[in-house]
C-alpha cells in the first residue's frame, strides 16, 4: 500500500452553490490500493471523488495529480435514453471508436462478451454495472473510480462485482476509489475505509469478521469473503461551523453482534 502517490488532496474545500459541501479534506490515493469512501446521503462523497478527478474545482486547498494520470470513472448516475436503441458494443464505441484488441482484452477480463449485442436498456442491474466497469477499463486506467457501483445489486451481485473489481486491481495494478452509502458493508479487499460527512470523520482498515457465526448469519456464506463489516468509532466532537447534518448514529453500531473487541482497530483521523 506504499505505492506511488497518484492523487493527493491537501486541505480542500468544495462548494456547491453557496454551500460548502466539503471542508478541510486531506486525502492521498496510492498505486494499487483500494479505498472505499462511506457516508450517509448528501455527505459529499460524489463531490469528493469528482473534485479528486478534476471534474469539480476546489474552493480552497490543493489537489495534485500525477501528470497524465489515466482515470476510469463510473459516475453514480448514467441515464440511458429508453427510446434510443443502443447496443453494448455501440456504448463501448462512444464517444470514440475503440480499438478491437483493447475491447477484446477488456471484455474477457470483465466477462461481458456475451452481452455485446444486447441492448443497454435490457441489461439487468448487475450486467449494466459490469458493462460500466468494462467501459471504464477501456482506457487502461491507473485509477478506477466507482461511485455507488453496486447500487441496485443484491448482496450476491455486490459480492460478485467486488470480486471482479479486486481481480481487475490485481491484474492491472490500478488504484480503486469506491464510494458507498452502505455504511456497514464494504468490500473486504478495501485497504482503507474513509468515513465522510462533510469532512473526514475517521478512517481505517475494514474489520474482517467473516469467521464469526453472526456474520455468516447476517451475510450468508456465499459471498466468498467479498463483503466485510466495517466498524468505526466517532469519539470526537464536531466544533466546525459548516452546514451539515451530523447524524452520526448512522455510522455507529453496525454489526454489533458480529464484532469482537480485538477487531476494533480503526483510528480517528480528524476531529
Ligand atoms: N449542483 C449542485 N448544486 C447545489 N448543491 C449540490 C449540487 N450537487 C450536490 N449538491 C449538494 O452537495 C451535497 C453533497 O452532495 P453529494 O452528491 O456529494 O453527496 P453524496 O454523499 O454523494 O450523496 P449520495 O449518497 O446521495 O450520493 C448535498 O447536500 C447536495 O445537495
Ligand atoms: Mg453520491
User: What is the pLDDT, as a whole number, of residue 96?
Assistant: 83
- Please provide the average confidence, as pLDDT, over all residues in the chain: 79
Counting every residue, how long is the chain? 271
Comparison of pLDDT for 145 and 193, the residue scoring more = 145
- Predicted confidence (pLDDT) at residue 257 exceeds the cutoff of 60: no
User: What is the pLDDT, as a whole number, of residue 185?
Assistant: 63
User: What is the pLDDT, as a whole number, of residue 81?
Assistant: 79
User: What is the pLDDT, as a whole number, of residue 39?
Assistant: 80
State which ligand 1 atom lies nearest to the alpha carbon of 47: 18
Task: Select from 12, 14, 42, 242 the residue to mutate for testing ligand 1; criterion: most ligand atoms less than 8 Å from CB.
Answer: 42
User: What is the pLDDT, as a whole number, of residue 179?
Assistant: 93
- Predicted confidence (pLDDT) at residue 132 exceeds the cutoff of 80: yes
Instruction: For residue 225, name the pLDDT band (cuts at 50, 70, 90).
Output: low
Comparison of pLDDT for 219 and 84, the residue scoring more = 84
State which ligand 1 atom lies nearest to the alpha carbon of 44: 18
- Predicted confidence (pLDDT) at residue 231 exceeds the cutoff of 80: no
Q: Ligand 1 within 6 A of 17 CB?
A: yes
User: What is the pLDDT, as a whole number, of residue 236?
Assistant: 53
CA neighbor of 13 nearest in space, from 250, 241, 232, 247: 241
Mean pLDDT in residue range 181-197: 75
Q: Ligand 1 within 6 A of 42 CB?
A: yes
| Burial degree of 75 (CB within 10 A; 0-12, 13-18, 19+) | middle
CATH architecture for segment(s) 31-41+74-253: 3-Layer(aba) Sandwich (3.40)
Instruction: For residue 152, name the pLDDT band (cuts at 50, 70, 90).
Output: confident
Ligand 2 centroid to residue 251 C-alpha, Å: 17
Ligand 2 centroid to residue 48 C-alpha, Å: 9
Report how far apart, in Å, the C-alpha atoms of 208 and of each of 145, 164, 168, 211 are. Answer: 23, 19, 21, 8
Ligand 2 centroid to residue 44 C-alpha, Å: 7
Q: What residues pair up with 38 in beta bridges, in sequence order?
A: 180, 195
Ligand nearest to the CA of 40: 1
User: What is the pLDDT, as a whole number, of residue 182?
Assistant: 67
Ligand 1 centroid to residue 58 C-alpha, Å: 15
Ligand nearest to the CA of 147: 2
Domain boundaries, the chain: 31-41+74-253
- Predicted confidence (pLDDT) at residue 269 exceeds the cutoff of 70: no
The set of cell numbers assigned to 183 is 455504511
Residue nearest to atom 17 of ligand 1 (CA): 46
Q: Measured on CA atoms in the order 258, 261, 266, 270, is the torsion positive or negative? A: positive
The set of cell numbers assigned to 35 is 479505498
Amino acid at each position: 500500500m506504499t505505492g506511488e502517490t497518484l492523487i493527493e488532496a491537501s486541505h480542500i474545500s468544495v462548494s456547491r452553490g453557496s454551500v460548502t459541501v466539503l471542508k478541510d479534506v486531506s486525502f492521498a490515493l496510492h498505486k494499487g490500493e483500494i479505498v472505499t469512501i462511506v457516508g450517509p446521503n448528501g455527505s459529499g462523497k460524489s463531490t469528493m471523488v469528482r473534485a479528486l478527478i478534476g471534474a469539480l474545482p476546489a474552493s480552497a486547498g490543493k489537489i495534485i495529480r500525477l501528470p497524465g494520470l489515466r482515470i476510469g470513472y463510473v459516475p453514480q448516475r448514467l441515464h440511458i435514453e429508453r427510446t434510443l436503441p443502443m447496443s453494448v458494443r455501440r456504448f463501448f464505441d462512444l464517444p470514440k471508436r475503440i480499438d478491437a484488441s483493447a475491447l477484446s482484452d477488456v471484455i474477457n477480463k470483465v466477462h461481458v462478451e456475451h452481452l455485446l449485442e444486447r441492448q443497454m436498456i435490457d441489461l439487468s442491474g448487475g450486467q449494466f454495472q459490469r458493462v460500466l466497469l468494462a467501459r471504464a477499463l477501456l482506457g487502461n486506467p491507473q485509477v478506477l473510480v466507482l461511485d455507488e457501483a453496486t447500487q441496485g445489486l443484491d448482496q450476491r451481485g455486490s459480492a460478485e462485482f467486488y470480486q471482479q473489481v479486486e481481480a481487475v486491481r490485481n491484474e492491472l495494478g490500478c488504484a480503486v476509489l469506491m464510494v458507498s452509502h452502505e455504511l456497514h458493508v464494504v468490500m473486504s479487499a478495501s485497504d482503507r475505509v474513509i468515513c465522510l460527512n462533510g469532512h473526514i470523520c475517521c478512517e481505517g482498515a475494514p474489520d474482517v469478521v467473516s469467521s464469526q457465526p453472526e456474520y455468516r448469519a447476517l451475510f450468508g456464506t456465499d459471498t466468498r469473503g467479498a463483503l466485510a463489516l466495517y466498524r468505526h468509532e466517532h469519539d470526537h466532537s464536531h466544533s466546525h461551523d459548516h452546514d451539515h447534518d451530523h447524524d452520526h448514529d448512522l455510522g455507529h453500531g453496525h454489526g454489533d453482534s458480529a464484532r469482537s473487541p480485538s477487531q476494533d482497530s480503526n483510528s480517528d483521523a480528524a476531529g
